């Protein structure tokens, strides 16, 4: 049976991995919407290849280039934030939410309102919207499937089990490229060093988040919403090889883990084919060649981000959305050479320490919290903290 699919963030790393799987199973899929931010040429190429119905760039300045790239086709070209939401609201059997940052929230919510399967990579959207998003999923009968490798692993380990029997859920973390660096070395870490992840090939923002461990902090909050076992049952462990993608421990002492190669096509395939399985071109694990799997406790002195995130989710209300927005601004400032590496998480803490807006009750509230936190974070980027 042919299924329809939209890919929000088609020109990114997750977008490319998703479309690689679609390309290999072309007859099984009809492509509805593909979106990007400013990469009009890349998006036009993909829209042509996959015969998309609509291609949307968020950046309106990129629309002429997108139209040029699509000339001679009947693919509808559009631009801007509302066009992005309209594209997502066309609905598809599966929508892959792979925009980076809270920019993906409104289109993801629009897709959720159509029901269907949402394959969620865009963790920042769930971290910011939290209960607003999960309530919309329930209200509209959508199915939220995690694409993040850790959450996809947990989802697989929970299958066929009652979550009431879960003793603990453990998210694994590679520890990023600076895992073994001293605080002094971290002070001097450069953007080029931060985006060089040892195990995964990813977009720049999530690579920096992995280096600060804020990625694991965001994932902790993501897990809190996806798997309702409570903060005290959520754990993080550093596992440098990124072979065990996460684990679920049950009350009888059994721990189930999901293992796989460090290739996002595996969790994406799991979400696309769920509840069945599909073939991927990924080489199976060669555990004898890998030899050793090691684990250690996270060091929250050198990497305080996981502690900041845990406190934000415990505080609740506007804290997670504020944390996420402040982090997005700080990561962008670091990548621009404006602030040093260790100032990323320090500035997130400083933004969180100021008075917060009340808890969000709807999408507009989340967007307002996000906007206010960005203003405060940008002010901080200009001044010493």
Nearer to ligand NDP, 205 or 225 (CB): 205
Q: How far is the CB of 104 from ligand NDP (least distance, A)?
A: 7
* Residue 370 in contact with ligand NDP, rule: CB under 6 A: no
CB of 128 to ligand NDP, least distance (A): 11
Q: Stretches 6-14, 228-236, 288-296, 354-362: which one binds ligand NDP (CB under 6 A)?
A: 6-14
Taking CB under 6 A as the rule, does residue 202 contact ligand NDP? yes
Which segment (13-21, 64-72, 277-285, 305-313) binds ligand NDP by CB under 6 A? 13-21
Residue 123 lies near ligand NDP (rule: CB under 6 A): yes
Please report how close the Cβ of residue 44 comes to ligand NDP at its closest, in angstroms.
Answer: 11
Quick one: CA dihedral 378, 379, 381, 385, positive or negative? negative
Query: Is the Cβ of residue 99 or residue 363 nearer to ligand NDP in the bound state?
Result: 99
Q: Which segment (30-38, 238-246, 277-285, 295-303) binds ligand NDP by CB under 6 A?
A: 30-38
Q: Is 242 annotated as a binding residue?
A: no
Q: Are 369 and 321 in contact (CB under 8 A)?
A: yes
Q: Binding residue per annotation — 12?
A: yes
Query: In the set 5, 46, 103, 157, which binds ligand NDP (CB under 6 A)?
Result: 103
Closest CB 16 distance from ligand NDP, rounded Å: 8
Q: Is 139 labelled as part of a ligand binding site? A: no
Interacting residues with ligand NDP between 138 and 197 (CB under 6 A) = 148
According to the 3-state scheme, what is the secondary structure of the chain? CCEEEEEECCCCHHHHHHHHHHHHCHHHEEEEEEEECCCHHHHHHHHHHHCCCEEEECCHHHHHHHHHHCCCCCCEEEECHHHHHHHHCCCCCEEEECCCCHHHHHHHHHHHCCCCEEEECCHHHHHHHCHHHHHHHHHHCCEEEECCHHHHHHHHHHCCCCHHHEEEEEEEECCCCCCCCCHHHHHCCCHHHHCCCCCCCCCHHHHHHHHHCHHHHHHHHHHHHHCCCCHHHEEEEECCCCCEEEEEEECCCCEEEEECCCCCHHHHHHHHHCCCCCCCCCCCCCHHHHCCCCCECCCCCCCCHHHHHHHHHHHCCCHHHHHHHHHHHHHHHHHCCCCCCCHHHHHHHHHHHCCCCCCCCCHHHHHHHHHHHHHHHHHHHHCCC
Contact region for ligand NDP (CB under 6 A) — 9-17, 255-263, 281-289, 309-317? 9-17
Which residue is closest to ligand NDP by CB?
Answer: 12
Tell me which stretch binds ligand NDP (CB under 6 A): 108-116, 122-130, 233-241, 243-251: 122-130
Has 150 been labeled as part of a binding site?
yes
The rounded distance, in Å, linking the Cα atoms of 137 and 143 is 7
Q: How far, in Å, CA of 136 to CA of 132, rounded?
A: 6
Out of 21, 65, 75, 100, which residue is the one contacting ligand NDP (CB under 6 A)?
Answer: 100
226 counts as binding ligand NDP under rule CB under 6 A: no
Q: Is 193 annotated as a binding residue?
A: no
Residue 14 near ligand NDP by CB under 6 A: yes
- Among 124, 249, 263, 328, the residue binding ligand NDP under the rule CB under 6 A is 124
* 245 sits near ligand NDP (criterion: CB under 6 A): no
Shortest reach from residue 276's CB to ligand NDP, in Å:
22
The contacts found for 332-337 with CB under 8 angstroms, 24 or more apart, are 332/205, 333/381, 334/191, 334/194, 334/208, 335/191, 335/204, 335/205, 335/208, 337/191
Asked if 53 interacts with ligand NDP (CB under 6 A), we say no
Pick out the residues of the known binding site for NADPH. 11-14, 122, 124, 203
Residues at the contact surface with ligand NDP, assessed by CB under 6 A: 9-15, 36-39, 58, 98-100, 103, 121-124, 148, 200, 202-203, 205-206, 264
Q: Which residues are annotated as a binding site for Mn(2+)?
A: 148, 150, 219
């Amino acid at each position: 049976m042919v299924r329809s699919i939209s890919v929000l963030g088609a020109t990114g790393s997750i977008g490319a991995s998703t479309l690689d799987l679609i390309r290999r199973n072309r007859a099984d899929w009809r492509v509805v919407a593909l979106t990007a931010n400013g990469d009009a040429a890349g998006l036009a190429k993909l829209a042509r290849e996959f015969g998309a119905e609509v291609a949307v760039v968020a950046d309106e300045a990129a629309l002429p280039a997108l139209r040029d790239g699509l000339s001679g086709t009947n693919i509808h070209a559009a631009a801007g934030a509302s066009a992005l939401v309209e594209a997502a609201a066309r609905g598809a059997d599966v929508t892959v939410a792979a925009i980076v940052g809270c920019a993906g929230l409104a289109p993801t919510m629009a897709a959720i309102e159509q029901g269907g399967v949402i394959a969620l990579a865009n963790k920042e959207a769930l971290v910011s919207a939290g209960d607003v998003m999960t309530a919309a999923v329930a209200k509209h009968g959508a199915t939220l499937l995690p694409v993040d490798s850790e959450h996809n692993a947990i989802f697989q380990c929970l299958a066929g089990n009652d979550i009431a029997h879960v003793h603990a859920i453990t998210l694994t973390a590679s520890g990023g490229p600076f895992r073994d660096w001293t605080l002094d070395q971290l002070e001097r870490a450069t953007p080029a060093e931060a985006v060089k992840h040892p195990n995964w090939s990813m977009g720049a923002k999530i690579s920096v988040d992995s280096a600060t461990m804020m990625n694991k902090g965001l994932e902790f909050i993501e897990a809190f919403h996806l798997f309702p076992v409570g903060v005290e049952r959520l754990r993080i462990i550093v596992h440098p090889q990124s072979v065990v993608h996460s684990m679920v421990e049950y009350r009888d002492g059994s721990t189930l883990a999901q293992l796989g190669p460090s290739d996002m096509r595996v969790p994406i395939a799991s979400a696309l084919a769920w509840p069945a399985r599909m073939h991927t071109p990924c080489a199976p694990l060669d555990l004898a060649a890998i030899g050793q799997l090691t684990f250690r406790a996270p060091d929250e002195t050198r990497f305080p981000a996981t502690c900041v995130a845990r406190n934000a989710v415990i505080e609740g209300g506007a804290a997670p959305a504020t944390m996420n927005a402040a982090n997005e601004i700080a990561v962008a400032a670091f990548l621009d050479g404006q602030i040093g590496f260790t100032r990323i998480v320090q500035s997130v803490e400083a933004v969180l320490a100021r008075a917060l807006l009340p808890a969000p009750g709807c999408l507009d509230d989340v967007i307002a919290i996000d906007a206010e936190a960005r203003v405060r974070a940008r002010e901080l980027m200009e001044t010493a903290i």
